[in-house]
Amino acid sequence: MGLLYNFIQFIFSALNFILWAYMWVIIIKALLSWVNPDPYNPIVRFINDITEPVLEKVRIILPLGRAMAFDLSPIIVILIIYFLQYILRYVEFYYVLPLMFTNYLR
């Protein structure tokens, strides 16, 4: 049972890390938009390739982002990431951990 618990905890930690890293990529994308970098730079292209699909979906859902002076989609994506991280922690601590500890007590 300990191996299963470690595997589930690894999955939750990996998902949390992926969300955390993606949040920082979104922040870097927003900062890069202020300085107008070279669009042919491979790092800039990579950041655009992994962020634009998500940001574009938020821009479609939130039409005010295009009418305003600045784009709100990175802020909304970061808030969604925080919400997903909260849900992951909630599920882990209130559903997975008690289930594992009740199996240890048997």
In 10 A of CB 46, how many CB atoms?
A: 11
Contact 58, 73 (CB under 8 A): yes
List pLDDT tens digits, range 67-104: 667 788 999 999 999 999 999 999 988 887 777 766 55
Q: Residue 61's pLDDT is what?
A: 87
- pLDDT for residue 106 is more than 80: no
**What are the residue ranges of helices labelled H in the chain?**
2-35, 42-61, 64-67, 73-91, 97-105
pTM as predicted: 0.84
Of 25, 62, 63, nearest to 45 (Cα)? 25
In 10 A of CB 73, how many CB atoms?
A: 24
